[in-house]
Amino acid sequence: MVPDEEARVEVTRLVGAQPAKWPKADFIIGNPPFVGAKYLRELLGDGYAEALWDAYRPMPQSADYVMYWWHRAAQEVSSGRTRRFGLITTNSLPQAFNRRVVQAHLEHVSGISLAFAIADHPWVDASDSAAVRIAMTVGTRGRDQPGRLLEIQREIPLQDGESEVELSERVGVIHSDLRIGADLTRTVPLLSNQGLSSPGVKLHGSGFIVTPPDADALSLGRVPELEQHIRPYLNGRDLTRRSRGAMVIDLFGLTETEVRQRFPEVYQWISERVKPEREQK
């Protein structure tokens, strides 16, 4: 259990790493490797991961490995060396940590547009038959050009693990979140609501909600000051429709020891109905 002070681990440090030169091509088509950003060091080694980040400094380190291919392909198209690119990527492309890469190219002065996109499509890996979800994007030169956005309307599972899909199509400028219409990626907080609105009480565990009979079993009305910690609870539906009459356990301000000593039934309830779920998450 004691670390060996004499132990040594070989560390590779790649000095002066540069992006590889790509050959000139009219079209770039590919299925780059799907490796999440948090697994780069583990799967590729510290030396390679750090060299990659050093060679591609404009790229956010939170971006998945596949986005480096997307970035390079977009550069080839925006420079005029390539007419179009089409890549299969992870379906996390529209999420914030990958979307920044796409958005930078869409907004650049000599940027690109998405001529075609599918944000979420089933895919079966032929090597191990693993079922995953993928996104497909086609980039073309020129900003704010309309493109075809396909969306799945229905999936029918087949016996071989694949799925038959029914698609709908829309045409318009495709944004970095792979949507058409108002660009929600550019929205900002409404300062007019600052200090005026609140999301209200949020419970991280349904076990905090109790019925009146539950509250009676927890000694509400019989144990002094317990009424300060088991209170009526209403959500929006309780206000707009008929109230459920629910109550909520609110132990704010109490230590674990205080709850155990003053309200043992409540402590046991939380221990059995809230703690296990919270530990799993």
The listed range with the strongest mean pLDDT (72-76, 192-196, 203-207) is 72-76
The predicted pLDDT at position 203 comes to: 80
Residue 192's pLDDT band, with cuts at 50, 70 and 90, is confident
Is residue 172 within 8 Å of residue 140, measured between CB atoms?
no
Convert the pLDDT of each residue in 101-150 to its tens digit. Answer: 999 999 998 889 999 999 999 887 665 656 788 999 999 999 999 999 99
This prediction's pTM: 0.65
Q: List helix spans (H) across the chain.
A: 40-44, 46-55, 66-78, 96-107, 212-217, 236-240, 256-262, 264-273, 275-280
How many C-beta neighbours within 10 Å does residue 61 have?
14
Q: What is the mean pLDDT of residues 7-23?
A: 86
Q: In percent, how much of the chain has pLDDT > 70?
A: 97
Query: Exposed, middle or buried, 116 (CB in 10 Å: 0-12/13-18/19+)?
Result: middle
Strands lying side by side in the sheet with 131-141: 27-30, 84-90, 131-141, 112-124, 146-157, 163-173
**Residue 1 above 70 pLDDT?**
no
Mean confidence (pLDDT) of the chain = 90
The predicted pLDDT at position 128 comes to: 60
Pick the closest to residue 211 from 243, 242, 181, 189 (CA basis).
243
**Residue 157 above 60 pLDDT?**
yes
**Residue 278 above 90 pLDDT?**
no
Is residue 94 within 8 Å of residue 176, measured between CB atoms?
yes
How many C-beta neighbours within 10 Å does residue 101 have?
23
